[in-house]
Amino acid sequence: MGIRHKPGFLRSLNQAWRGMIYTVRTQKHMQFHVVAGISVLLFAWWSRVSRFEWLILILAIGSVISAEVMNSAIETVVDMAQPNYHPLAGMAKDVAAGAVLVTAIQAAVIGMIVFAPALLRFTRGIF
């Protein structure tokens, strides 16, 4: 007897994927983060990072993408609730964007720390 899923689980999974696809299709920043994440993973493969470094890089990429998804959700809800300009609505959107900025800076620092040895080896071979 196989594992039985509740009927709602597959529907929830489908809705989550639909939200991700919508975000990637409609949000330029999300498109940038996805391309950047894929680029980092390719560079990690090329530079042969350790298993621990893979985990840290995947966590950093996932954090940025998660923050961007939440930012998009907050912007959508704010736009729906307050279609006209309101300072608090604008501040809510700015704060959500700030969360993305913090995770993106964190991911960039992690990338610099992880990739510094490989970049140094590479540049020594050139010069």
Domain coordinates in residue numbering, the chain: 7-126
7-126: which CATH architecture?
Orthogonal Bundle (1.10)
Amino acid 2: pLDDT: 61
Residues tagged in the binding site annotation for a divalent metal cation: 75
Catalytic residues: 68
Token pair recorded at residue 92? 């809510």
Binding site: which residues?
Answer: 46-49, 68, 75, 93-94
Rg (CA), the chain: 19
- Residues 63-110 have pLDDT tens digits of 999 999 999 999 999 999 999 999 999 999 999 999 999 999 999 999
Cβ atoms of 43 and 115 closer than 8 Å: yes
Is residue 96 within 8 Å of residue 71, measured between CB atoms?
yes
Residue 7 is predicted with a pLDDT of 63
Contact present, 96 and 74 (Cβ < 8 Å): yes
Neighbour-count burial of 68, counting CB atoms closer than 10 A to its CB (0-12 exposed, 13-18 middle, 19+ buried): buried
Instruction: Give the integer Cα–Cα distance in Å for 126 and 113.
Output: 21
